[in-house]
Amino acid sequence: MFEKKEIAKKSVNPDRWYTDVILKSELADYSPVRGCMIIRPYGYEIWENIQNYLDKKFKELGVKNAYFPTFIPMSFLQREKEHVEGFSPQLAVVTHGGGEKLSEPLAVRPTSETIMYDTYARWIQSWRDLPLLLNLWNNVVRWEKRTYLFLRTAEFLWQEGHTAHATFDDADTFARKILEIYTVFDEDVLATPVLVGKKSENEKFPGAAITYSLEALMPDGKAIQMGTSHHLGDNFAKAFKIKYLDKNGREQFVWQTSWAETTRVIGAIIMAHGDDQGLILPPNIAPIQAVFVPIKLNEKVLNYCQKISQELVKSGIRVHIDSREEKSVGWKFHEWELKGIPIRIEIGEKEMENDELTLVRRDTGEKVKSQKSKVKSDTERLLKEIQDNLFERMKKFRDENTHTVSSYEEFKKIMATQKGYIYAFWCEDPVCEAKIKEETKATTRILPLDAKEEKGECVYCKKPATHRWYFAQAY
Amino acid sequence: MFEKKEIAKKSVNPDRWYTDVILKSELADYSPVRGCMIIRPYGYEIWENIQNYLDKKFKELGVKNAYFPTFIPMSFLQREKEHVEGFSPQLAVVTHGGGEKLSEPLAVRPTSETIMYDTYARWIQSWRDLPLLLNLWNNVVRWEKRTYLFLRTAEFLWQEGHTAHATFDDADTFARKILEIYTVFDEDVLATPVLVGKKSENEKFPGAAITYSLEALMPDGKAIQMGTSHHLGDNFAKAFKIKYLDKNGREQFVWQTSWAETTRVIGAIIMAHGDDQGLILPPNIAPIQAVFVPIKLNEKVLNYCQKISQELVKSGIRVHIDSREEKSVGWKFHEWELKGIPIRIEIGEKEMENDELTLVRRDTGEKVKSQKSKVKSDTERLLKEIQDNLFERMKKFRDENTHTVSSYEEFKKIMATQKGYIYAFWCEDPVCEAKIKEETKATTRILPLDAKEEKGECVYCKKPATHRWYFAQAY
């Protein structure tokens, strides 16, 4: 109980570090169910902060929350051909209910398109019913063979938005509005710079017309998807017969979007920002932004901490006072570093007498002397500086690890060594994409939204190519 | 589309009225999955209001939110004998995952005691780890044979709290604190008066030592459970070996509680307060508390509505302006009555010129003339009056339908006619309880928390009895 919690060094063994830091900081734990994890209160508070932020943004767009059943009849999944092919290897299937064998097996939802759109067909009759903008906060199950805390688990939490629109363009505009919300969320809240663009035909969501994706580069040089927004075209509308009468009384199919952000992004921020001492949480998402560690524990010092903390709480800063008697100051420093609290506030007896205190930055270790009268503004300023520093650090890393490449030899060499992004011409033939994946484990990540047409040749087959794509190995 | 939505009369056919009003007011809808419902945005907003209220109260007690897997290995459920007997007839069972047969089938959680407490045994080591106070907001599945929107569905949403304490008394104090939160919530927020007490041995939660329950009487004379808080004793602690070292270094079992509030309460408020015209939502839970219906739709009137509504929003009132051009004023009145909005604000052109408006109460139909300068205070006052009136109305109904009875003949007669609560001596022998249930469909509801010992004889067997219990037919 009183020993310091040891973790592997990120710089030496990043895989073990990742698991150690999640378990020891109590973000999550393994469960007795294969591939399913327990999200502990410290991890769940991060998820609640994510929920609060995104839920507000969605509602500002007119999106409403709802709930649909966790079970999907197998026949529903089969109605959209690409969709069932994509998801059927990953299904958990309920065959018995109330002691009896079911006449039709039910899948536990891997995603809710099919169960929702059958009902959308009933709800949508006229152009006046459009757009229909719904979102669900729920749990989904995808039976993964190899699992990894937060990043790939058989069950995870997410939000899934599902909209229906009158035209292709309306749906596209909406999918891009969501993409914009996700971009600001990833960059300004999670302090994680993202590349934003379209997925290739092979990499898009099963059943989508266009998949927009946000990708972040992790310190090990592998990319991770930080959210997706799909333009579903009229694929599901046709499969589920979702039609409306337009203003001229003509029957039309609707155009749809679906979009999701998951607990997986918590894995990404752990990996992106942490160091050998443990987590470093971006202030905008941290459950505790500043922790008070009194150097001497007595009533006077605690009262002083209390007074200052109330001041900070008033301006919306999330604080905690560590008043445990049984733990040493050294143990507490170590513990709160492990938990990644952005600012540690140290207060000794002498400092108190002089109305002083010390703010210690988790990201740089820098100690900043402050005074009682300035603590609010100093804390606010430092939180912003830490948030910005984490973002800039990751952005610098990404830029340094983005390689514009024209030879396949170079492509292979980079993927075999430092990894990172490769930015290269690709002819858009799935055969080249598959070969590259087979030989380098790198997949196409995205075609940037603002990509310009150029004249080039495919990095693999040397045939003419019009656009450069980002490639990377990915989680 | 433009027809008034017809519903059955509550006074004539309450069962059909209940279903009609839920479907037509768009609180919920049937799903293609047997026994599972869709909660539509209007119903989900009520659930969000419930969540916001309760979540804040739980956190004030130091409870933290977490997430545990949706799947429970069958062997876990079997570890507590009464628990598995209670739940096994209702399980949905996953037998296949990722295309393969599972070595051990997994139940979709009907409640999470067993999956959580296996982990509690790992987390809890010392008295310093207690109390452990966790809550989950999730979905659970109980395969019900006969289902009823909101009140009994194969899947429902809820919160389930699970705590561990050092002593029996600590657990009991906590279970009662939760009971107090639920009581205030049911009465002050849902405007539904409750009887609060203990369940009989037969009626308690499978695996609990004591089940505290809150019961409300519906207009048809049947009772409904409005929340439960269970003292689990050390039953699960022994089954899952949850032990801690006390301050003297001795190993002890923990004492536990679990407690839940579900989407079922939405069914109760629909049934309790509604009338022939539709829903009547208690203001404290209504997604929209006041709806503006302009009598004449033009820019000037709409601007006037906008200005007044901003004033109301500023003081935290939830408002909506119905500016649809395609609907008549009559249609709108009917629609918002159906949806149970507590106050309708009517504004005509002439009224606008005189800085006047009319507030119409949904509960009584009363029209209250108001002025621009007084609209905020008038609306606040009326919302409070409506909230109080709904509560008092139900309380009066309950008191009028509570029958203190000493003869079994009378008991049977009441249960065969007007129903309601029966308050009668019972010897606490499960045989009498079972006979009464068989012959009258009435079950013991609760022994009031403050029940005094008296001398009496059992209403059924005439043997000595020390306490009066409440009996009723129940949902």
In CATH, what number is assigned to the domain containing residue B468? 3.30.110.30
Best of A3, A67, A95, A129 to mutate (most B CBs within 10 Å, chain B):
A67
Contact A38 B68 (CB under 8 A): yes
Q: How far is A90 from chain B (nearest CA, A)?
A: 5
Last residue of a domain, one of A353, A382, A411: A382
Chain B stretch 111-150, residues whose beta carbon is closer than 8 A to a beta carbon of chain A = 115, 118-119, 125-126, 128, 134, 138-139, 141, 143-145
Under an 8 A CB cutoff, do A93 and B94 touch? yes
Alpha-carbon span A34 to B106, nearest angstrom: 10
Average pLDDT, chain A: 96
Identify which of B76, B119, B139 has the shortest CB distance to residue A29. B119
- Tell me which residues of chain A, numbers 251 to 310, contact chain B at a CB-CB cutoff of 8 Å: none
Contact A38 B155 (CB under 8 A): no
Co-location of B115 and B249 in the same domain:
yes
Residue of B50, B63, B67 best to disrupt the A interface, most CBs of A under 10 A: B67
Q: Is the pLDDT of residue B1 over 50?
A: no
Which residues of A are less than 8 Å from B105 in CB distance? 96
Q: With a cut of 60, say whether residue A3 has pLDDT above it.
A: yes
Does a structural domain hold residue B85? Answer: yes
Number of domains in chain A: 3
> What's the CATH number where B304 sits?
3.40.50.800
Confidence tier at A335 by pLDDT (50, 70, 90): very high
Say yes or no: B92 contacts chain A, CB-CB below 8 A: yes
Same-domain status, A267 and A359: no
Q: Are A231 and A361 in a shared domain?
A: no
Q: What is the pLDDT of residue B205?
A: 93
Contact B155 A71 (CB under 8 A): yes
ipTM: 0.96
A258 and A300 both lie in a single domain: no
A 318-377: CB under 8 A from B: 326
Single out the residue in B273, B299, B316 at which a domain terminates.
Answer: B273
Q: Are residues A414 and A378 in the same domain?
A: no
Is residue A356 in some structural domain?
yes
Do B99 and B135 lie in one domain? The reply is yes
pLDDT in tens, A67-97: 999 999 999 999 988 888 889 899 999 999 9
Asked if residue A159 belongs to a domain, the reply is yes
For residues B134 and B222, membership in a common domain is answered with yes
A431-460 tens-digit pLDDT: 999 999 999 999 999 999 999 999 999 999
Which one of A39, A65, A95 has the shortest CB-CB distance to B96?
A95
Closest residue of A to B99, CA-based?
A: A89
Check whether residue A305 and residue A447 sit in a common domain. no
pLDDT in tens, B307-351: 999 999 999 999 999 999 999 999 999 999 999 999 999 999 988
Q: How far is A361 from chain B (nearest CA, A)?
A: 27
Q: Check CB contact of B89 with chain A, cutoff 8 Å.
A: yes
The pLDDT of residue B442 is 98
A65 CB within 8 Å of a chain B CB:
yes
Report the residue of chain B nearest A62, measured CA to CA: B41
| Residue B40 with chain A: CB contacts under 8 Å | 66
- Looking at chain B, which residue has its C-alpha nearest residue A96? B93
Q: Which of B30, B33, B88, B326 to mutate to test the interface with A (most CBs of A within 10 A)?
A: B33
Counted across chains A and B, CB pairs separated by less than 8 A come out at 165
Chain B residue at shortest CA distance from A137: B138
Q: State which residue of chain B sits closest to A134, comparing Cα positions.
A: B41
- Do A143 and B90 make contact, defined as CB atoms within 8 angstroms? no
- Rounded Cα distance between A234 and A325, Å, is 63
The verdict on A85 and A219 lying in the same domain is yes
The residue in chain A having the minimum alpha-carbon distance to the alpha carbon of residue B94 is A94
Q: Is the pLDDT of residue B256 over 70?
A: yes
CA distance B165 to chain A (A): 18
Whether B64 contacts chain A with CB within 8 A: yes
Residues B305 and B267 in one domain: no
- Are B33 and A71 inside 8 Å of each other by CB? yes
CB contact under 8 A, B44 and A38: no
Distance from CA of A63 to the nearest CA of B (A): 9
What secondary structure, in 3-state letters, does chain A show?
CCCCCCCCCCCCCHHHHHHHHHHHCCCEEECCCCCCEEECHHHHHHHHHHHHHHHHHHHHCCCEECECCCEEEHHHHCCCHHHHHHHHHHCEEEEEECCEEEEEEEEECCCCHHHHHHHHHHHCCEHHHCCEEEEEEEEEECCCCCCECCCECCEEEEEEEEEEECCHHHHHHHHHHHHHHHHHHHHHHCCCCCEEEECCCCCCCCCCCEEEEEEEECCCCCEEEEEEEEEEECHHHHHHCCEEECCCCCEEECEEEEEEEECHHHHHHHHHHCECCECCCCCCCCCCCEEEEECCCCHHHHHHHHHHHHHHHHCCCCEEECCCCCCCHHHHHHHHHHCCCCEEEEECHHHHHCCEEEEEECCCCCEEEEEHHHHHHHHHHHHHHHHHHHHHHHHHHHHHCEEECCCHHHHHHHHHCCCCEEEEEECCCHHHHHHHHHHHCCEEEEEECCCCCCCEECCCCCCEECEEEEEECEC
In a domain, A67, yes or no: yes
Considering only CB atoms, A40 lies closest to which of B38, B66, B125, namely: B66
* pLDDT tens column, B410-434: 999 999 999 999 999 999 999 999 9
Cross-chain residue pair A65–B41, CB shorter than 8 Å: yes
In a domain, residue A214? The reply is: yes
pLDDT for residue B4 is more than 80: no
DSSP string, B223-282: EEEEEEEEEEETHHHHHHT-EEE-TTS-EEE-EEEEEEEETHHHHHHHHHH-BTTB----
> Using one digit for the tens of pLDDT, what is the confidence trace for B265-286?
999 999 999 999 999 999 999 9
Residue B43: closest C-alpha in chain A: A66
**Is residue A390 one of the residues assigned to a domain?**
no
Is residue B110 predicted with pLDDT exceeding 70?
yes
Mutate which: A46, A47, A71, vs B, most B CBs within 10 A? A71
**Mean pLDDT value of segment A159-176:** 98
Amino acid A2: pLDDT: 57
Domain match, A27 and A151 both: yes
The pLDDT confidence band at residue B2, using thresholds 50, 70 and 90, is low
Residue A1 has pLDDT above 80, yes or no: no
- Which residues of chain B neighbour A97 with C-beta distances below 8 Å? 91-93, 143, 154
Name the percent of chain A lying above pLDDT 70.
Answer: 100
Chain B interface, best mutation among A1, A33, A84, A245, by max B CB count within 10 A: A33
Residues B322 and B407 in one domain: no
Q: Which of A2, A31, A124 to mutate to test the interface with B (most CBs of B within 10 A)?
A: A31
Q: What pLDDT does residue A115 have?
A: 96
Chain segment A118-149, per-residue pLDDT in tens: 999 999 999 999 999 999 999 999 998 889 99
Task: For chain B, say whether A38 makes contact (Cβ under 8 Å).
Answer: yes
Domain of B83, CATH number, reads 3.30.930.10
Question: Which residues of chain B are within 8 Å of residue A145 when distances are taken between CB atoms?
Answer: 98
Residue that finishes a domain, picked among B273, B307, B339: B273
Average pLDDT of the residues in B372-389:
97
Range of the domain at A295: 290-382
Is residue B396 situated within a structural domain? no
Is there a domain that residue A393 lies in? no
